Amino acid sequence: MPRNVHPVAALALRARRLLQRNQTVAEALAPFGPMGWCAGIMKEGREPMFFFGGEAVQGERPVERDTIFRIASVSKMFGAAAALRLVRAGKLTLDGDISDVFGFRVTPAITLRQLLTHTASLRDGVYDAALESGNLPPLNELLPKSFAGYAPGTRYSYSNLGAGVAGMLVEKASGMLFDDYVRSQFFLPYGVDASFHPQRIRDAQRLANCYEMPGGQLSYHAVAIAKEPLDEQPNPLRHYIVPAGKLMISAPNLLACVRRLWLEDRDMFVHQKGIGSVPGDSGRGLGCSMGIDAFGCTTWGHQGNAYGAIAQAWIAPERQTYAVLLTNGVKQRSVGGFNLAGQSAICALLDTAEAAWGR
């Protein structure tokens, strides 16, 4: 701080700049009518910045810095990282037949690598119908009905079921509830209040519900679910709906966890060129994707969309920068596979960071 600047004046200047930066991110999201949101960005060697606004629970509670959101498919990054830690421990293999882990025959044979790159030839139609009806068959009955008409390893097709199967490999190989294993590896050692089950969040008053926008129709009542009983016994045949998108975490904690993934689980972020027999450049890592054009720089990460909410988590290695956006409801618009609200906000975050810290 310059010697001629009074400490109180310096604090006022910093607060004013934070408000201006918060407004920049808010304006990027404004065309998409968010219910509530929290965004964060950090650069190695710099203090992170967080911005937020709107309502966590409509008409009752505003979003705060530590509000806990459902992060939809960004959850898949942690399921993938958990599986890869078990690979390193010798309890799973990337390219072996998953039948050898589950103890029932999966035909055609598929691998963990195919599950993590969405090339396992799995379709979500039967899975989605089961979710809608609430009649969830065991995994050994669901899988035979869920294969597409082409061989595994020959096409890319995004699959929530595939992420669920990968998560159940984690549950089977670890002997622990999927959520228990993920929390033990990535959250509990760092005091992070996060879980794939709202019932396990220590401070339920920080939970955000999800809403369909425009209109604000309640679509996911996290606060109510937190009071429901929970099946806490490992059951790899039944818990496959958990891993794909149920993680609940705050923006500050997600930002810190994504940074740790980059530093400690770098095997996720290896470009899977020509996965198996898939020709060409897949643009994917293991449980994450590589974005080149969306944000004006090369990024690794994931986006999520569920119950009207969107989430984003991205790493920009060349800038040594990490950015996250959590919402609980925005207007849904996508171009080229990217949610426009998320893209707009992440670009605003990166621009804000560049203005504050330089590239």
- Mean pLDDT, rounded, for 181-201: 99
Please give the domain boundaries of the chain with CATH numbers for all domains: 31-357 (3.40.710.10)
Contact yes or no for 72/305 (Cβ under 8 A)? yes
Which single residue is written with the structure tokens 């090339």? Answer: 119
pLDDT number for residue 1? 46
pLDDT number for residue 289? 93
What does the pLDDT look like over 237-280, one tens digit per residue?
Answer: 999 999 999 999 999 999 999 999 999 999 999 998 876 666 65
Tokens representing residue 216 in the block: 């604000």
Tokens representing residue 24 in the block: 């920049």
- Which range (5-14, 97-106, 204-213, 245-254) has the least confidence? 5-14
- The whole model's pTM is what? 0.94
What does the pLDDT look like over 129-164, one tens digit per residue?
Answer: 999 999 999 999 999 999 999 999 999 999 999 999
Which long-range contacts (C-beta less than 8 Å, at least 24 apart) are formed by 199-203? 199/225, 199/226, 199/227, 199/228, 199/229, 199/230, 200/230, 201/68, 201/226, 201/248, 203/68
pLDDT number for residue 294? 73
